[in-house]
Structure 1
Amino acid sequence: MGRTYKRQLVSRTYGNFNEEQVNQALHDVLKNGLSLRKAAKKFKLSYGTLNNKYHGRKIKKIGGQSVFTFKEEVAIINSILKCADWGYPLSAMDLRIFVKRFLALNQQDRGRFSK
């Protein structure tokens, strides 16, 4: 039987908030004149998270950021599945060349496949 994961006390709390708490904290800051630090402490939020939301900065997803957009990923996956239906399996190198060609046809440069 596997262990149940328990977060360590010293670990960082990535994304450990809900939008309702953040909205209430921002409401207190904007309407009641509460400072960001006091609002963060009152609602048990990270000051950095509250500050980013207050200034309208985009908070990225937790973990590694994807290189492609969702639509691009779906297009690449559909093309790979089409090759599989035709009976043409792609090796790792074929896949890399395929993705590089996909970016070239869409006139995009992502840096990973540059010369």
Structure 2
Amino acid sequence: MSSRPEKRPDAAIRAEMPASVWSNPAAPIILGIIVTIFLFFLIILLMGIMPFDAFKGDAKETKRVDAAVSMEEEQAMNRINTTRSLYPDEPPVQPDPILSKIDAPFQAEENKEEEQMDS
């Protein structure tokens, strides 16, 4: 007699679909293809272009770091030549008298060995 809606569970789903889908039944397939292409290009972008930019940025950063390190080394060498200390606020280091007394015999022995090797 009359068809029951319970036997057709997809009737409610079809009724809830927008009218634009009814005009072109291939719309979900086309939309899926477009989304797949977009994701493919997004993956290519993330795997290809972004790492390339990261490598270029790394090279620039390395140059800047190398320049900063060489500048600091030059300043440290100038500071050592002028103040005899790597740290300008510290006074020059004086030898420890106790350690000098302990080390004196060993130093004298080393000097003798060096003189023997030189002659």
TM-score, reference length from structure 1: 0.26
More helix by share: 2
| Higher relative contact order, chain-length normalized (CA < 8 Å, sep 6+) | 1
Which of 1 and 2 has greater Rg? 2
